[in-house]
Amino acid sequence: MFSSFKSGILYTVLASFFFVIIACTHDADQYKIQGIDVSHYQKIIDWKTVAKQEKIHFAFIKATESVDYQDSIFQKNWEGAKDAGLIRGAYHFFRPNVSVEWQIKNFTQQVQLEKGDLPPVLDVEDFKNVTKEALIERVRLWLIFIEDHYKVRPIIYASMKHYEDYLQLAFPEYPVWIARYNQIEPPKNMDWIFWQYSDQRTMKGIRGKVDKNVFAGTLSELKALCLD
């Protein structure tokens, strides 16, 4: 009897596990507009091959980090994504404990946006050695100056937990790109427009793993988000 009981428990656990995986896959797969985000970690990308794959419409590309780091193949990726016909966007990895002004300068010197490009993204995932108040103040400064420079409201990227704990109440007016892996999609009350649902996918044209994302609207709505 005890063996049967254990078998029943094991079956229930496994069934629940596979249900979560299936539900998670369904949640991401139900979105017709999907894309990737990349940096030098993906090395040289065959953008033409990437763009030929079903549902892949956009790519976010790392441009800069902190005050003086530029991604070594940003320009190659930036031009490659455009030439392949993908909607492209650039992001900056934010370091809250160094000069915001120099981080702004670093990004704007590297990224020249054109008509049809997505708004700039501020990647906020470094929360070490900074108070919540200081973080919010510095993030706000970056967002304000970048919006003034490019004449478009930037997008905030963060994990779901960090967005809830630090940023949601402070920046309700900004579009949001939420990272949440291996779970059901982020709650709708976050008003997210992009969801990074995996960092472990593979695809033709890219060596190794790549992050996958979905857009919460239609292709026409994605294009409407881009610069005029």
Selecting among 68, 79, 125, 199, the annotated active-site residue is: 125
Positive or negative CA dihedral for 72, 76, 80, 83?
positive
Q: Which two tokens stand for residue 102?
A: 């120099």
Closest CA to 138 of 89, 171, 90, 177: 171
Residue 158 near residue 170 (C-beta atoms within 8 A): no
C-beta contacts of 81-84 below 8 A and 24+ residues apart: 81/47, 82/114, 83/47, 83/48, 84/47, 84/48, 84/50, 84/51
Active site residue 173: no
Active site residue 114: no
Q: Which residues belong to the active site?
A: 37, 125
